[in-house]
Amino acid sequence: MGAHNVWPPYVIDEYSGFSVDLVRAAFKAENQDFEMLTMPFSRAMRMVEKGPVDIIPALWRSKSRDERFIFSNAYYRNRLVLISRPEPSIHFKELNDLKGLSVCAIRGFRSEIALAKLPQIRLEKLPNLTSCLLLLSKERVDAVVSDELAFIYLQSQHTEFLSFNVHQPTIAQWPLYIGVSKSHPEAKEMIELFNKGLIQLQKNGIYEATLKKYQLDD
């Protein structure tokens, strides 16, 4: 059983999304079933450590998470970017340029945790990217920090986001993994099964086809 917040195109719902499809296919290649729940990310993290949930199917690594989770081989790489309205313009080259601004990030994501360490930023934490972008459109925050392709996906679904700017340079590039709590009695076995299944998907073309399905193959 896996759990994650809705985070398109990686987790669109309990049945679709790049990460959902890929993790399910990798376990199926090893003759294992995979079911999925959607919920706020912070709740999913609590549930995977307490036991009702086995896997976080899309997870970035950090020092604190390395102490609590076993991670798979990376199956994708995310680009973290800054998003803002065209006016007022924001000059952005590094995180220190955000001093005095209000920035929204998804609660519990590594991006939110990293921004929380910067006291010069007024941080808003919301359960999903759509909520952050709506706050930006209402001029209640100055900027949003997001995975670039997650933003592009939502931008294609919401006309009110079309005018938003993606700033360069990229803030960070983080590999994406599945994670299993070290307290789970079968943690190592689940990670090994996923890694073996992922190798099969990369060999038989399913990995590349799943990238193309969600327009992540650029």
Q: Which residue numbers in the chain have pLDDT < 50?
A: none
Q: What is the pLDDT of residue 43?
A: 94
Q: Are 176 and 78 in contact (CB under 8 A)?
A: yes
| H or E, element range at 130 | helix 129-137
**Superfamily covering domain 77-173:** Periplasmic binding protein-like II (3.40.190.10)
pLDDT digits over 86-138, tens only? 998 899 998 889 999 999 999 989 888 888 888 889 999 999 999 999 999 99
CB 128 within 8 Å of CB 5: yes
pTM of the model: 0.91
Distances (CA, A) of 103 to 100, 116, 131, 139: 10, 10, 13, 11
In the prediction, which pLDDT does 118 show?
A: 85
Using DSSP bridges, classify how beta strands 76-84 and 122-126 pair: parallel, antiparallel or unpaired: unpaired
2-74+177-214 and 77-173 share one fold: yes
Strand partners of residue 183? none
Domain positions in the chain are 2-74+177-214, 77-173
Backbone φ/ψ region at 36: left (φ over 0), alpha (ψ -120 to 50), beta: beta
CATH number for region 2-74+177-214: 3.40.190.10
Q: Phi and psi for 22 in degrees, rounded to 5? A: -70, -45
Q: Distance between CA atoms of 208 and 169, rounded to whole angstroms?
A: 27
DSSP-based three-state secondary structure for 36: strand
Q: What gap in Å lies between CA 29 and CA 98, rounded to an integer?
A: 45
For position 215, what pLDDT does the model report? 87
> What whole-number distance in Å separates Cα of residue 85 and Cα of residue 76?
28
Helix, strand, coil percentages in the chain from 3-state DSSP, rounded to 5: 40, 25, 35
Q: CA-based angle 59:39:137, to the nearest 5?
A: 85
Measured CA distances, 78 to 33, 40, 59, 90 (Å): 26, 20, 10, 23
Residue whose C-alpha is closest to residue 215's, from 128, 129, 156: 156
CB 183 within 8 A of CB 49: yes
